[in-house]
Structures are given as C-alpha cells and as structure tokens.
Structure 1
Amino acid sequence: MNLRQAAIGAAAIDSGAIVVFSAIGRASHDEGILGPGGAGLATTASPFLTGAALGWVIARAWRRPCDWRRTGVIVWASTLVGGMALRAVYGQGVQVSFVIVAGTVLAVLLVGWRVASGWIARRRGLKG
C-alpha cells in the first residue's frame, strides 16, 4: 500500500467513525437517523466532519495518516473542538457532559484505530 492509499483509507475510517458516533448519539436520544426534514444524521455529523477536515489540514495528515501521535491526536482535538464550536454556532447542544462523552468516544475512535494499526504493523515487522 502506498502513502496515497493509506491517506484515503485513513480519511475514510475517520469519516466513518464520526458518522457512526453521530448515529449512535442520535439513536441514544431517540432522534432517529433521518430526523425531521430528513437531514438529521447529516446535521449531527457535519460539525464534527468539518472539525476533522480542519484537523487533517493542520496535521498534514496525508503525510502520516496512521500516526496516532502526529496525526490522530490533532485530528481528534480538532474534531472535538471544531465540532463543539460549530454546534454552538448552529444552536445545537454543547453541555459539559456531552463534551466529555464526545471527547472520550472520539478519542477511542480516531486515535484508537491508529494505535491498533501501529501495533499490528510492528507485530508484522512493517514500517509506517
């Protein structure tokens, strides 16, 4: 796998993780996936996806997409801070308990897969 493929895969995993996080959140509040007007999941996920995209630019994630320290932590922090800031701008909830839960879950999802992939690569003797 080359670096371009790794970056595309990492971006897909990050995006998928954020969409899953958003879907679980909506389901836990009995909001349904589509919600009123049919844009529920998109409305919930978009602030976090935007924050993640900003994190990718800040970290230059395409250079080291699977590095949990140089990329994962920055993408996670940007997803959380950017997502919460945009939620506040859009008039969505940003209660302290939600920030704590979101921060924890997003860390597990966005940093966790990178830690796991690095561990697997080291076990197999691969660089990256």
Structure 2
Amino acid sequence: MNPLKTKPATSVSARTVMAAAAADIILILAFAAIGRDAHHREEPVLGVLLTAWPFLAGAAVGWMAARAWRSPLSVLRAGVPVWLGSLIGGMVLRALTAQTVVIPFIIVATLALAVFLVGYRLLFVGLARFRRS
C-alpha cells in the first residue's frame, strides 16, 4: 500500500470530506490573511476575502478535477491537485481581475500553499502510519 494515499474511496465518510474541505478553505484564508497583514493592508475582513477568492476558486477546481472527495486526505490524489488548482487558478484569476501577479508573489504563494494544503495531509499520513506501528 502506498503510504501517501489514504483509505479507498468507498470508506471515506462525509465527515472526513467536509473536514478536509473546511481545512483547505481555512488554510487558504489564513494564507491571504498572513499576506495582507505582512503588507499592512486596510480592510482586514473584506481584504482577506478579496485576496483569497481566486485561490478558493482554484482550489474548488482542483477538488473537482481530482475528485478529491474520493480520498480527501491523500497527498497525491487530493493534496497536490488542490494545491496546484489553488495556485494556478488563483494566479490566472488574479491576472484576469487586474490583481498583482509578480514573480516574488508567485514564489511565496507556491511555497505557502504547498506547506498548507499538502502539509496537513502529510502530517495526517504520518500520524496514521505512527498509530499503526
């Protein structure tokens, strides 16, 4: 069994799917909030939502394209597609809506979203493996 994949799709509960989706949303909002705070931007709540929406939309596309609900805590089947969807979709939507898309921001977003969206799934897999041993 591949340690980067979790339970097969037939045994994934709706609760697990909802928890993973909620974690993705919260972590993308945290990414946006941290970025806005680092740049001392105005309008904290509305500003975070305006910064986060392209990445949230991209993550939703990643969820759909990968059918992440089948194995929402899998690093390869869900984490990587959701990360890439949020990153690529987010940057494309930012560019289309005249928001800032510069190389330093792309680098920071790539790393931060990877740590957040893939990272918690890696932790989950590691803890599950630890519990089994």
**Inter-partner Cα distance in structure 2 for 1:24 and 1:39:** 14
Gaps of 5+ in 1: none
Give the aligned partner of residue 35 of structure 2. 25
Tell me the equivalent position of 2:16: 6
TM-score, scaled relative to structure 1 = 0.91
Residues 59 and 83 in structure 2, CA contact (< 8 A), matched pair in contact too: yes
Contact kept? 1:21, 1:105, Cα under 8 Å: yes
Q: 1:41 Cα shift?
A: 1.3
> Partner of 1:116 in structure 2?
123
Give 3-state SS (helix, strand or coil) of 2:80's partner. helix
Deviations 1:31-85 (A, max 9, x none): 04x25xx621111010000000000001101100000011100100010000000
Residue identity opposite 1:27 in structure 2? D
- Cα RMSD (Å): 1.6
Structure 2 distance, partners of 1:80, 1:104, is: 10
Matches within 5 A, 1:1-128: 3-32=13-42, 34=43, 39-125=46-132
TM-score by length of structure 2 reads 0.88
If asked which structure has higher relative contact order (CA below 8 Å, sep 6+), I would say: 2
Q: What residue identity is the alignment partner of 1:23?
A: A
Structure 1 stretches of 4+ with a deviation exceeding 4 A read: none
* Equivalent pairs, count: 123
Any stretches of 5+ residues in structure 2 without a counterpart?
1-10
Q: How far, CA to CA, are the matches of 1:54 and 1:30 in structure 2?
A: 30
Task: Give the Å deviation of 1:2.
Answer: 5.0
Report sequence identity in percent.
46
Distance (whole Å) between structure 2 residues aligned to residue 120 and residue 114 of structure 1: 10
